[in-house]
Amino acid sequence: MPKISDEKRALRRLQILEAAWRCFQSQGLHATTMDDIIKSSKLSAGAVYSYFPSKEELILAAVTTSLGGLRERLEPILAARPPPPPAAFVEQAAEAVVHFTARQTYDLRRLALLGWSEAQRNERLRETMRDFYSGFRDRLADAAGSWKQDGLLRPDASPPDVAKALLAAMLGFVAQSALIGDVDPKDLARGVGDLIRARSDDAP
C-alpha cells in the first residue's frame, strides 16, 4: 500500500465531504441529491460511491466529522483548570462554534439543525449525537463540580443540573442563531451573567 495513495484517498474523502457540506447546508439533507454532491465534488459517481457506500453513510460521516472538529475546538476550553467562570465559559464555547463556522466552507449551526432533525429517524446518527452531547455534558458537569469546589456555586448546587442548563444554553444558542440570527456569543454571555448576578433570594 503506497503512502501517496493513502494520502490521496484522504484528500479525496475530504473533497467529497466538503462538497456534501456545501450542498447539505444550502439545500438540506434530503433535498440534496447524490448528483448534487457528485457534481460539486468534481468527481464521478463511481468515485464518490467508492468512498461512501450510500447517501446515509455520507450524511453520517458529514455530521460525525463535523462534530469531531467541534470537539477539538471545545477541548481546550473544557480542559482548562480551573475552568473559566460560567458566563465566560459559555461565551468561549459559543465563540468556538462561531469561529469553527467562519473557518470552513460550511455553517456548523445550520448543519447542526439538519443533523438533529435527521437523528430523529436515523438510529446510528441518534446514537452518535447522543454520545457526543452527553459526553460534552459530562465535561460541563465536571466544570460545575469544579466551580462548586471553588465556591463559585453554592454547596447545595447540583452539577448535573447545572450542566443541563448550560448545555441547553449552548444548543439553544445554536438554534436561536440559525433561526433568528441576531445573537452573538457576547449577548449570550451577558444575558447569562445578568442572571447570575440576579438577587438570588428570589430564585427558588
Provide the binding-site residues for DNA, judged by CB under 7 A: 1-4, 8, 12, 31-35, 38, 43-47, 49-50, 53-56
Q: Does 199 bind a copy of itself (CB under 8 A)?
A: yes
Q: Which is nearer to DNA, 24 or 89 (CB)?
A: 24
Residue 183 Cβ vs a copy of itself, minimum distance, rounded to whole Å: 5
Residue 46 Cβ vs DNA, minimum distance, rounded to whole Å: 2
Q: Which is nearer to a copy of itself, 79 or 198 (CB)?
A: 198
DSSP string covering 77-101, please? HHH-SSPPPHHHHHHHHHHHHHHHH
Residue 13 Cβ vs DNA, minimum distance, rounded to whole Å: 10
Residue 149 interacting entry, from a copy of itself, DNA, none, C-beta within 5 to 8 Å by type: none
DSSP string covering 36-90, please? HHHHHHTS-HHHHHHH-SSHHHHHHHHHHHHHHHHHHHHHHHHH-SSPPPHHHHH
